[in-house]
């Protein structure tokens, strides 16, 4: 049997990074930056007022207070967006609005609340410190500084920074294009009629969601029944719009395990057992004239889900030009549980303030317990008992963050 690491390496050997793509800023939300981004401008871009009030020289207002106001001449208004360059006369003030550029010579702002609101002449009742209510050019970000590193996901806050820094387009990791194929005669589309013996094709919906949540683009979701004839010519079409095929089901030892039967014949796909639970039967290789990578996942829903995180997600990340290893975290076991000997067990757990605990029944058909899980706990092959308080390595489930 192969180890998890050996099979992951075999899967990763099938994929090469796709080129990064340039997207407009509004399209960049949720994408991962493919290059460092330097600010093209200072932020703020110029000294400006943080308050509606009067731009002044602080020295002119020494001693100003409610009981000892200072009267100044007002030399005009500076609204936000004013592109003129003003110079403040000594002893005078200018009305200034929030965000408006400070006039040369001014070094503080008196808020309008500390005045009589005068337009030609104003009575000011505050002696501001130098710099009071002035937002300094470059105090937030300096032009040329790297503001976001390659590998960073664009969040609304980061998008705001890029917008303020006047960056219209960004280079982001591409979304690998994935075609999902469910297999099995027993499958009925979601919402379909369930005769005795039939089940819903939940893996198709699940893998489509995982692909999207994992940074891929879904280019097809199909279903093949267990007739080998259904595969004829499937990969002979122009599939230049597909970077990866994913199948579920039909890779074990059954009499109707068609994926294994058909793709073993083509020669490009290797089927193997991996020392893990769930997800033991696996396959990976290439199909079609372009030798497009394919990963064949086991049909049991939880096995397929777990295998996605262990093998497919690293492949998607590698295709996107990212580090295949998505950040694992460490925690402690909030309760004990037993684990299968000789295989890595990927226990579906809920992580909360007390630590990680199994999210419920661990059968590879049990989606009920999967729905609550937040992480996979990686229990190594030599461990048969996880005890309360033991350290555990956790792989976060895609789409939880």
Ligand X SMILES: Nc1nc2c(c(=O)[nH]1)N[C@H]1C(S)=C(S)[C@@H](COP(=O)(O)OP(=O)(O)OC[C@H]3O[C@@H](n4cnc5c(N)ncnc54)[C@H](O)[C@@H]3O)O[C@H]1N2
Judged by the rule CB under 6 A, the positions of this chain that interact with ligand X are: 182, 184, 186-187, 199, 201-204, 248-254, 257, 278, 280-281, 298-301, 303, 364
Shortest Å, Cβ 318 to ligand X: 24
Out of 251, 280, 333, 397, name the contact with ligand MOO by CB under 6 A. Answer: 280
Q: Which of ligand X, ligand MOO, none is residue 137 near (CB under 5 to 8 Å by kind)?
A: none
Q: Which stretch binds ligand MOO (CB under 6 A): 94-102, 237-245, 278-286, 321-329?
A: 278-286
Shortest Å, Cβ 344 to ligand MOO: 11
Shortest Å, Cβ 241 to ligand MOO: 30
Please name the residues in contact with 146: beta carbons below 8 A apart, sequence gap of 6 or more. 36, 37, 38
Per-residue tokens: 104: 């040369």
Residues between 258 and 277 with contacts to ligand MOO, criterion CB under 6 A: 277
**Residue tagged 């990680």 (tokens):** 356
Tell me if 101 contacts ligand MOO by CB under 6 A: no
253 or 382: whose CB is closer to ligand X?
Answer: 253
Shortest Å, Cβ 208 to ligand MOO: 20
Shortest Å, Cβ 185 to ligand MOO: 19
Residue of 64, 61, 48, 28 lying closest to 171 (CA atoms): 28
Per-residue tokens: 260: 């294994």
Out of 103, 174, 215, 278, name the contact with ligand MOO by CB under 6 A. Answer: 278
Residues between 349 and 368 with contacts to ligand MOO, criterion CB under 6 A: 364
Shortest Å, Cβ 306 to ligand MOO: 8
47 or 201: whose CB is closer to ligand X?
Answer: 201
Shortest Å, Cβ 376 to ligand X: 16
Residue of 146, 137, 152, 141 lying closest to 34 (CA atoms): 152
C-alpha span between 144 and 42 (Å, rounded): 8
Neighbours of 193 (CB within 10 A): 7
Per-residue tokens: 332: 């402690």
Tell me if 314 contacts ligand MOO by CB under 6 A: no
C-alpha span between 346 and 276 (Å, rounded): 7
Neighbours of 80 (CB within 10 A): 13
3 or 252: whose CB is closer to ligand X?
Answer: 252
C-alpha span between 373 and 54 (Å, rounded): 58
Helix (H, G, I), strand (E, B) or coil at 389: coil
Could you please report the per-residue DSSP string of 26-74? GG-TT-BBSS-EE-SS-BSSS-EESSSEEEE-GGGGTT-BTTB-EEEEE
Residue ranges that bind ligand MOO, judged by CB under 6 A: 277-280, 298, 300, 303, 364
């Amino acid at each position: 049997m192969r180890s998890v690491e050996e099979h992951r390496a075999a899967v990763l050997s099938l994929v090469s990074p796709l080129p990064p793509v340039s997207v407009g800023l509004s399209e960049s939300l949720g994408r991962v930056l493919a290059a460092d981004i330097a600010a093209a401008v200072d932020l703020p871009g110029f000294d400006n007022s943080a308050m509606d009030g009067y731009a002044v020289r602080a020295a002119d207002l020494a001693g100003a207070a409610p009981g000892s106001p200072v009267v100044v001449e007002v030399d005009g208004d500076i609204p936000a967006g004013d592109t003129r360059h003003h110079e403040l006369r000594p002893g005078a003030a200018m009305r200034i609005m929030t965000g408006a550029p400070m006039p040369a010579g001014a070094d503080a702002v008196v808020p309008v609340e500390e005045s009589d609101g005068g337009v030609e002449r104003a009575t000011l009742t505050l002696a501001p410190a130098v710099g009071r209510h002035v937002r300094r050019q470059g105090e937030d970000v300096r032009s040329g500084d790297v503001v976001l590193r390659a590998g960073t996901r664009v969040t609304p806050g980061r998008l705001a920074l890029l917008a303020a820094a006047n960056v219209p387009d960004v280079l982001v990791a591409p979304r690998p294009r994935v075609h999902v194929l469910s297999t099995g005669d027993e499958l009925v589309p979601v919402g379909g009629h369930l005769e005795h013996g039939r089940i819903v094709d939940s893996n198709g919906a699940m893998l489509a969601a995982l692909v999207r949540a994992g940074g891929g683009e879904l280019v097809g979701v199909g279903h093949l029944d267990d007739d080998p004839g259904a595969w004829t010519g499937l990969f002979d079409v122009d599939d230049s719009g597909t970077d990866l095929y994913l199948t579920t089901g039909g890779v074990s030892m059954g009499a109707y395990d068609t994926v294994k039967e058909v793709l073993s014949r083509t020669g490009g796909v290797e089927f193997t057992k991996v020392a893990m639970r769930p997800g033991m039967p696996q396959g990976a290789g290439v199909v079609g004239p372009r030798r497009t990578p394919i990963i064949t996942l086991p049909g049991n829903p939880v096995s397929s889900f777990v295998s996605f995180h262990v093998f497919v997600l690293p492949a998607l990340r590698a295709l996107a030009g990212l580090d295949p290893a998505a950040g694992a975290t460490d925690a402690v076991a909030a309760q004990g549980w037993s684990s299968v000997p000789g295989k890595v067990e990927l226990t579906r757990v809920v992580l909360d303030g007390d630590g990680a605990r199994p999210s419920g029944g661990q059968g590879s058909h049990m989606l009920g317990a999967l729905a609550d899980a937040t992480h996979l706990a990686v229990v190594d092959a030599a461990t048969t008992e996880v005890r309360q308080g033991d350290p555990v390595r956790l792989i976060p489930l895609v789409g939880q963050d």
